[in-house]
Structure formats: C-alpha cells, structure tokens
Chain A
Amino acid sequence: MSKIKRAVSMYSLQDQYARGKMSLEDIFKYLNDLGAGLEFISDQMMKGTPEPSEETLKEWDLLVEKYKPVLVCNDVFINTCLYKNRELTDKEALDLLIKEIKLAHRLGFKMIRLVSNTRASIIEPALPYAIENDVVMTLEIHAGMSFDQPLTQAFIEAMKKLNSPYVGLTVDTGIFCRRHPRVSSAFFRELGVKQEIIDYVDNIFASGVDPKHYFMEARKQGKHFPDDLQAMIETQDEFEYALFCDGYEMSEFSILDEYLPYIKHFHGKIYEMTKEGVEYSIPFDELIKYLDKVGYEGYIATEYEGNRFALANEVIRDKENVTAHQNMLKKYIEAL
C-alpha cells in the first residue's frame, strides 16, 4: 500500500473565494468530501496575515475544530518588494519569515512553502525558529525558476549544508510537462496570437525538448528567441506567449533523484483535466509510479492553474478540475 497522500492547494480555489462563491467553511467541507488535506495560503484567506487578529484566529480555531482538516502546508511569501525605492534588507526579510513560521505553528501547520526566489541567506538564521515551532521550511521548485536557476541553487547549497529535517523542497509538477497546455494556447489565440507561433511552440515539445532548452543557444547570444521564432513575433501578446512558454519544462523524473531526501511536498500542477480524466500536459500516472518506486510518503496537492487562461467572460471551471484531478490521483494511488 502506497503512502502517497492527497491535498488541495488553495491556489486552485482562488476564484471561488474571491467571487464569494465558497467561504472557508465551504472549502473545509469540500476537502472532507474529497478526502483531501489542506494547503493553505494565509495571505489569501486569512485577513491580517502574518499577524491576524485574535478574532480571526478564533474563527479559524472553530472551523478547524468542527471540520478537522488535515493541515498539510501553508504557502508563504516574503514581501521583499514592500517598498518601491529599495529591497528589504536580510534582517527585515528574516523578521517577516519568523512571523510566518510562528503563524504557521499557531494555525496548526507543520510545513511552510517558500515561494521561488526566496533568499537563501535568511534560511540559516530562521532555522532555530523553525525547529522551535516544529515547522519545516520548503522552497518551491517551479518551472521557469527550476533547479538550474541561481537563487534556487543558492537555496539548495544552504539546504545541503544545513542538512536539517526542517529545510527541504516542494516540487511543482509543472517541470514535467510533455506538451504545452492547450488552454494557454486558446487564451492567447483569442488575444490574436498567430497559429504559426502556437504551432512552433507545440513542435518544440513534440521534438522531445522544452522551450528553455530549445532557446538556450539563442539566449547565449543575448537574444530572447531563435531568429525564426523572433521573425514571427509582431505583437506584445505574441512576445508574451513566446516568453512564457519556457514556464513549462519537460524534465525527466530522474532529475529529482539527487534531491529525494529533501523533497517534502509536491504541487500537483494542473492546467486542464480532459474528458478522459487525465491532465493534458503532465503524465501523472507515470509520476505516481516513479514516486512510489522511490518511496515518497508525502502529499501531492492539486494546484489548478487553468484559472489564468479563462477566456473572456468564461466561467472558471476550478472545482470541476480539482475534483477530476483528485479522483485521478486516488485511482492511480489505489492501483499501486
């Protein structure tokens, strides 16, 4: 029996919450129906984060007591761009991180996810607080800001040096795309991006590499894109389509091998669950087999990102996608 577990990131339900369709209480009920744990974003659904009022905390406590959600992870952002005229100093950034660690502990979480590009320099001084509050700090490995990115490398270096159970990684499965998400293509097509550019990107994936690798030679020469792609780009939207397409990476699962002891958590990224009940870009069946083989015992938290690509005036099918993904995960995990 596999020990891989399921959760849902509240990134997935941002629209439900913003539009007032689902309250936190509705969300807790929904998660219990799915049998899934909670990955929370306190900045999103808890007013006053990282220092919410006693009243807000009391409301949280009552809901947690009533619905008993499995509190898997809280997503943390260090607002180093707080001021327009300067970046926060390390001391200021550390103070914010300590507040977040204490809040996570107060809410009942034993893990926080630090967004990509969080500075490595604040991890060692934060470690005593993480230990004291029993909260594991994990950096997110996200496509576009993946293992080869300098800030990610600096974190990994600090993580390996500290070698503590309280410092690790959250891996976003957007690094395992086998195709460019077609919901993104449809969104940009509606903005007027030419089909030949969409085909160009699709063909990169079809050739067995991702745009990051395909563009590498051009980027070494100081260009954004290879000349033939550049020649097709006429509008800002076409430029953005080409620019964002390297935010979908096509790594082999084995890229995780050397980091396995540090991987605490996964974001199960989804852009579109198809009628057949699979994710259009990411082969979750293969991923789950790999994770089972290497003995992963943590959570995969559904992170629905197709909300970004809703066409004008189209309803965002967030709950439907999350439910379909959870059903798929359950099926694959039970089949192991």
Chain B
Amino acid sequence: MFDNYVFTEGSCKNVQEGDKIVGFELETLITYYRGIPCSMVHDIKVKVDNQEIEREAIRFSPDGETYFTLEELETVTTYKWEYGVQGHVRVLKEGGLSKGEHEVSLTTMIRVAYIPVPFGGTKVRKVHIS
C-alpha cells in the first residue's frame, strides 16, 4: 500500500570519497503519512541481484548529512525522518556497484503505536551504473 513511496526512481548511485568508491546509495520516501523519529525505523533491507546485503553494511540518513548504522538508529530519537523528505540508504561496499545493469531491491519497515506489527514496503528497480 505504501510501496510506491519506496526507492525513488533514478536515485541509486555509487558514492565516491576521495578517489575511492566506498559504496552505493539510494533514496526513499517514508512508507507512512507523517514524519517519525528515526528510532521508529524498524528495519531496512537491501538486495542486489537477489543477494541480501548484510545488515552491518547498511547506513541510514534522514537528511543526507548524518548517517547511522541500523543498530545506532534504534536510539536516534532526536533526528526525525520528515514526511516528504528523501531518506538516504547507503551500502558500504568497496568499489560500489559494478558497471552495467543491476536489480536492486529496497525494503523499509517502521513501527507505529496504533498498528500492532511493523509495516512498510518493498520496491525492486533495474539500475544502470555507467
């Protein structure tokens, strides 16, 4: 029901730091209708060409400036992921995504007080890295 907000089209790119490609990043809107403190982001999963990325390699930023590990995110109550603002999901992976076509899948899950189970959405996109 919120799948159309997951994984903004055209947002998946390799991330360069200095002269090295340190990973890749993609953007997503929240799977909800309001902003929430980052600690309520319950889980984020990324798959590349059907291979699950290990949790430890995933970072999340609510603003593209400050990045948290998923473990750290559990206590991040002062930063909000605002509604209508792109959240940044970064995967640390030396060399990033190789040139060519990839199938990238993003799942985001959040917790809210009046719904008994965490919920979210998944979107798979074909990504071209040039």
- Chain A residues engaging chain B, CB cutoff 8 angstroms: 11, 14, 17-20, 41, 43-45, 47-49, 77-85, 115-118, 145, 187, 308-310, 312-313
Contact = CB atoms under 8 A, between A and B. Distances in A.
Q: Which 8 A-B pairs have the closest CB atoms?
A: A43-B34, A117-B114, A44-B34, A14-B33, A18-B84, A81-B111, A80-B113, A44-B83
Interface string B74-99: 11010010111000000000000000
B44 to A, nearest CB: 13
A84 B42 contact: yes
Contact of A47 (B80, B111, B113): B80
Given A20-B84, A44-B83, A82-B77, A77 B42 contact: no
Nearest to A84: B74
Contacts of A11: 33
Given A44-B35, A78-B113, 20 more contacts: A11-B33, A14-B83, A18-B29, A41-B33, A43-B34, A43-B83, A47-B80, A47-B82, A49-B35, A79-B40, A79-B113, A81-B112, A83-B75, A84-B42, A84-B111, A118-B114, A309-B1, A310-B4, A312-B4, A313-B4
Most buried by A among B82, B83, B114: B114
Nearest to B111: A81
A22 B114 CA distance: 28
Most buried by B among A19, A47, A79, A81: A81
Contacts of B36: 43, 79
Interface of B: 1, 4-5, 29, 33-37, 39-40, 42, 74-75, 77, 80, 82-84, 111-114
B112 to A, nearest CB: 6
A17 B114 contact: no
B83 A115 contact: no
B33 to A, nearest CB: 4
Most buried by A among B35, B36, B80, B111: B35
Nearest to B74: A84
A20 B29 CA distance: 12
Contact of A81 (B35, B40, B75, B80): B40
Given A11-B33, A44-B33, A44-B34, A81 B113 contact: yes
Contacts of B33: 11, 14, 41, 44
B11 to A, nearest CB: 14
B39 A117 contact: no
B113 A43 contact: no
A336 to B, nearest CB: 33
B61 to A, nearest CB: 16
Contact of B113 (A17, A41, A44, A117): A117
